[in-house]
């Protein structure tokens, strides 16, 4: 069952703010060998899900094809006290990133535009290269 944030709850409100503003998260999947696999990723928080663009041949995509259980973990903040971990499931969208770019391109560029410019990755190029879209649905929030 998907987790529902309560914006009136202080911890939930802080978590939502961070999910909207943080640029890098750690994304954990379960490897075929049964061990965790974690990588830093860019993500967009939208409609209660984290959206991750990925190259198709990555370990995270291979892992998701075998096991949909995942975690999304933000850094602990400058004081080390801002823990935020989402446990949930993930699905590979049937729509390629080029189709998603129509829906999320403006938001994605607003969040990562400076980095995209530095890497010479306009949204169209980003969507071609990172053509798999992973949709993460949280089931549990661990935060304080």
pLDDT at 76: 78
- Segment 22-49, tens digit of pLDDT: 999 999 999 999 999 999 999 999 999 9
| The model's pTM | 0.93
Distance CA 24, CA 3 (A): 21
pLDDT at 77: 72
Neighbours of 91 (CB within 10 A): 14
- Segment 81-133, tens digit of pLDDT: 778 999 999 999 999 999 999 999 999 999 999 999 999 999 999 999 999 99
- Domain contains 55: yes
pLDDT at 60: 98
As for how many domains the chain has, the answer is 1
Structural domain including 132 reads 10-139
Closest CA to 71 of 36, 106, 120: 36
- Domain contains 124: yes
CB 37 within 8 A of CB 28: yes
Local structure of 43: helix, strand or coil: coil
The residue to which tokens 């993930």 are assigned: 90
């Amino acid at each position: 069952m998907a987790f529902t944030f309560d914006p009136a709850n202080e911890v939930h409100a802080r978590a939502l703010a961070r999910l909207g503003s943080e640029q890098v998260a750690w994304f954990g999947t379960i490897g075929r060998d049964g061990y965790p696999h974690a990588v830093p990723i860019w993500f967009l928080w939208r409609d209660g899900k984290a959206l991750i663009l990925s190259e198709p041949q990555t370990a995270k995509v291979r892992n998701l094809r075998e096991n949909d259980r995942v975690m999304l973990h933000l850094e602990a903040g400058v004081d080390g006290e801002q823990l935020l971990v989402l446990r949930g499931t993930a699905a590979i969208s049937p729509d390629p990133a080029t189709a998603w770019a129509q829906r999320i391109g403006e938001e994605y560029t607003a969040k990562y535009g400076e980095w995209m410019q530095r890497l010479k990755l306009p949204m169209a190029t980003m969507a071609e290269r990172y053509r798999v879209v992973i949709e993460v649905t949280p089931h549990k929030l661990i935060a304080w």
